Structure 1
């Protein structure tokens, strides 16, 4: 696409979104990001300037609540040059009191509001990319079955009622139903734009900008930060899954609108397995000062087993055409940023 292409990024201050904004600007796209307040927008702009990004091609628009009907209407009315819409705004939290209000409604209604606004006020928009999750693809918890495998055609079968049982199921439901809302909208309305969806695993990696408030870290970064707070005699807590680096997720969003063969596709962003012991092993090996501070645990439990029989994202890798960042670099860069000068 032309370097003059204007790309809209909803939820512009999110963990993934900030990396997307940086990568778009590096590729000489014009970027408009939605933020929840002027203060957040100015902070994002200041962060970009602090890393020597020219903000000539960066603007922010305030969208206080994506779940309110018509949330994106004014933005699209005011910016008729937007031709790509990246919808990354969706809650990623498990600290909620009302699953429907805090997780399901913002994800589902936010997606519907974005697509309706594009159809009404963005006829020039040709490419739409939505950030979903492998939570919309896989089963887990009491719904998991032995020997299951997943690919780009798989769907989490969770029901709306089941998603109300816990924040974890609520998150899975929010991703599943928001994504289904998008595909059903496209199928029913036959809009002018094509749709691609990014389904990342657990997203590790550094923040897009220096950390100023560790209490405000995103979920995956908090997971690593908590491991770094362990004492020498503490047990290494259980925890495992599949991961991808945030920089690869951002890159995939751009490929998803640039490449014709990504249109109408779900893209599974999954590099491989991780577990907490493996993260501790990498950290102790890479940072000698931490080797004496962190618990040793049981290093052998950090061995990572092949998950290719459970996950197949070969179709995604063929479309994306780039190598994913490995667990060691992802963890190393995260730890280095979180601890900074204390290392």
Structure 2
């Protein structure tokens, strides 16, 4: 009998790759989307292994009740839906509450209306574990026991801080729910670094991409006299992040774990060097920068041992990620 997995926010960047990974492994998938206009293209792309439910808002209590009732065949839930917004008029309404209350209400709905669900995997982030200063510290390796010390009030004042708050407090809410409510399901969180890599289908690679994937695209679009953007940190390929979500429901040892997904460090120069090496036609167009700045030997690697030992991830390199991303962009634009 085929196992069915529910994926929230199925049209999203990470979610759509996760749906693709699930289907490639033989699962059936039910995905939530905010409208039929977002769901119909997914059916066209994924075929009869995928069906969708329209859930228009995350932060409404009971938003998933009816969808869960309609699908008693679902035995795992992957919660990827969360606002990836960095500019908002009302940070609390647009970023914080959809992420935090959306997570709490979803887990309550699963407990009340889908007792057959055995495991829940939530997309969190490394920023729920660290501060920006930690990411810049060569001696910081971090780990799954760390939590960001950001305050809820910080997210009310600044949209970038609001995203960090939303990820931190939504994940904390999930672990607190499991501890207090004792539901039938186990919980795992996947905590990825900055996520780059190709879209799940070429159509989604047209025009401006989502915030993190656009980092690679923006460097590809530079001209010779342009300055490199100030961007650096840990990275993971979206295909590895998707695979981690699926492996988390397949590996019993992943239950109850927070799992960092991080392939390596990068900066803008790293991406530029890869572009200049792999696309000779860009060498006269792109800036040169300072190629030697792509050196992270003084830095400790991030403590991602669980992703390697429990999940068995063998990471896609930054070079492969950038090449695959640009090849896709060139195909469709």
User: Does the pair score TM above 0.5?
Assistant: yes
Q: Are the structure 2 counterparts of residues 328 and 146 from structure 1 closer, same or farther at C-alpha, using a change threshold of 3 Å?
A: closer
Deviation at 1:213, TM superposition (A): 6.3
Structure 2 stretches lacking a partner, 5+ long: none
Cα deviation, 1:56-101, whole Å, max 9, x if unaligned, reads 2211000011111111001011111111000000011212221111
Residue 295 (structure 2) pairs with residue 339 (structure 1): no
Match of 1:304 among 296, 303, 306: 296
Structure 2 counterpart SS, 1:219: coil
Q: TM-score, normalised by structure 1?
A: 0.93
When residues 192 and 333 of structure 1 are mapped into structure 2, their CA distance, relative to the original with a 3 A threshold, is same
Contact 2:138 2:300 in 1 (8 A): no
Q: Which residue of 2 aligns with 1:258?
A: 250
Within a 5 Å distance, the mapping from 1:153-168 to structure 2 comes to 153-168=145-160
Please tell me whether the aligned partners of residues 70 and 113 of structure 1 are also in contact (alpha carbons under 8 angstroms): yes
In structure 1, the residue corresponding to 2:157 is in which secondary structure?
Answer: coil
Distance 1:207 1:143 in 2: 26
Q: Which residue of 2 aligns with 1:150?
A: 142
Q: 2:32 aligns with which of 31, 34, 37?
A: 34
Q: Distance in 2 between matches of 1:303 and 1:142?
A: 18
Is the CA contact (8 Å cut-off) linking 1:91 and 1:106 kept in structure 2? yes
SS of the aligned residue for 2:165 comes to: helix
Task: Give me the TM-score of the superposition, normalised by structure 2.
Answer: 0.95
Alpha-carbon distance, 1:26 to partner: 1.0
**Pair 169,146 (structure 1): closer, same or farther in 2 beyond 3 Å:** farther
**Corresponding residue number in structure 1 for 2:209:** 217
Q: 1:171 aligns with which of 131, 141, 163?
A: 163
- Cα distance in 2 for partners of 1:127, 1:212 equals 30
Note if 1:316 corresponds to 2:307: yes
Number of residue pairs aligned between Structure 1 and Structure 2: 333
> Would the aligned equivalents of 2:135 and 2:233 in 1 still touch at CA under 8 Å?
no
1:60 match: secondary structure? strand
Cα RMSD of the aligned pairs, angstroms, is: 1.8
